[in-house]
Amino acid sequence: MGFFSLFLLAVGLSMDAFAVSICKGLSMKRMNYKNAVKAGLFFGIFQAMMPSIGYFLGSRFQSLITEIDHWIAFILLFLIGGNMIREAFGQEEQQNDSFDLKTMLVLAVATSIDALAVGITFAFLNTNLLPAVTLIGCTTFLFSFFGVKIGNAFGSRYEKKAEITGGVILILIAFRILLEHLQLLPF
């Protein structure tokens, strides 16, 4: 997976955390940079950790499913992206203004489950794990930090757009992986 595709994947994965960060920013009466950093760290660390776990799980089973690994990567990324788009049009989520450990831990796990599945695809695609998870973690940190700030400043205008954008990016990457493996791309 090239750097540009990996960067787009990192952006796509960070969109759930970005949307939640916007909500967290909405719930604050005043901008609190300590909470913005806390959101960035929680979401960034979990978005980096989950693909690592998925990678090691996928590596264990890679030899058993090498013939269909591109289909698995396609299906996982397509379903994750589709789910993100579906959630963007779903019911409004309840705003919680707490940045305590329990709340942030639950949110970080919830927004990074899809990254676990992406980690499995990394194993099938023989992706270099350290640069991939570093880029995902740093990208998510930045999107989460600025999501809190944007939410605090502008309100909920961008939450649905962020989830839709993330979903579309993941679906496009899914198709690119499939088309590359089927050798239908000219580049």
pTM over 0.95: no
Per-domain boundaries in the chain: 3-181
Residue with tokens 């787009």: 8
* pLDDT, mean of residues 81-108: 77
pLDDT tens figures, 35-64: 999 999 999 999 999 999 999 988 887 667
pLDDT tens figures, 5-43: 899 999 988 988 898 888 788 778 789 999 999 999 999
Grouping H, G, I as helix, E, B as strand and the rest as coil, residue 81 is helix
* pLDDT, mean of residues 99-121: 86
pLDDT tens figures, 60-94: 876 676 677 678 778 877 887 787 788 778 766 55
| CA angle 143–148–153, rounded 5-degree value | 120
Kindly tell me if the per-residue pLDDT of 95 is higher than 70. Answer: no
Fold assignment, 3-181:
Growth Hormone; Chain: A; (1.20.1250)
Task: Count other Cβ atoms within 10 Å, centred on residue 109.
Answer: 14
Quote the crossing angle between the two packed helices 159-181 and 69-88, to the nearest 10°.
Answer: 160
pLDDT tens figures, 117-138: 889 889 888 889 999 999 999 9
Q: Within 13 A of 147's CA, how many CA atoms are on the CB side?
A: 30
Kindly tell me if the per-residue pLDDT of 151 is higher than 60. Answer: yes
At 45 the pLDDT is 97
Q: How confident is the model at residue 98 (pLDDT cuts 50, 70, 90)?
A: confident
At 110 the pLDDT is 81
